[in-house]
Amino acid sequence: MKELEDRIRKDGRVLPGNILLVDSFLNQGLDARLMNQMALTWQEFYKDEPVTKIMTIEASGIALAVLTAYRFGVPALFAKKYATINLTDDRHQASVYSYTREKSYSIAVSRRLLTPDDHVLLVDDFLANGCAMAGLADLVREAGASVAGIGVAIEKSFQKGPDLLRERGLTICSLARIESLEEGRIVFGEADA
């Protein structure tokens, strides 16, 4: 998505450790107009899927999920993160490994809010190692629901996430694909939309 790539070129900053800082428009400061364009692009990409819900994991995917849900005319839903969790009857849950924190955490959502008739589009700001999206897909399947696909704002194609998710048969629509952040230079690949 050209508008997103242009904005990354203009305002993105590369930090040590191959981290792209986009806090002025996607992570902390939120550019609603740009994010609305992103939601429209996912809506067009997934127009043949009978999507019933848009899901993400707290926190930074929530704004994108809300705008996308508005475009599709369906509810948004976010999974909550817990350091540890005991199995309870009223929640679907899955485990997510965080490479940055080097430990697992649980994600959960109320059983009332995610049911077997749901066909869910997952969205997130970054796809890096992919564990968050893989865990969310597990949670959807645990609920007996199905995954329509994944919408990612910024894919870091040099990390493990894209392959991990495709190996699981999940469709990804990445709006900006970054092939490298070496030496502070942002190298884009071809995006999906």
Interaction site with ligand G4P (CB under 6 A): 19-22, 27, 59-61, 98-100, 125-132, 156, 161
Q: Min. distance of Cβ 175 from ligand G4P in angstroms?
A: 15
Q: Min. distance of Cβ 46 from ligand G4P in angstroms?
A: 20
Nearer to ligand G4P, 39 or 134 (CB): 134
Q: Min. distance of Cβ 150 from ligand G4P in angstroms?
A: 11
Query: What is the chain written as a DSSP string?
Result: -HHHHHHHHHH-EEETTTEEE-IIIIISS--HHHHHHHHHHHHHHTTTS---EEEEETTTTHHHHHHHHHHHTS-EEEEEEESS----TTEEEEEEEETTTTEEEEEEEETTTS-TT-EEEEEEEEESS-HHHHHHHHHHHHTT-EEEEEEEEEEETTSSHHHHHHHTT--EEEEEEEEE-GGG--EEE----
Nearer to ligand G4P, 52 or 60 (CB): 60
Nearer to ligand G4P, 144 or 189 (CB): 189
Q: Min. distance of Cβ 74 from ligand G4P in angstroms?
A: 21
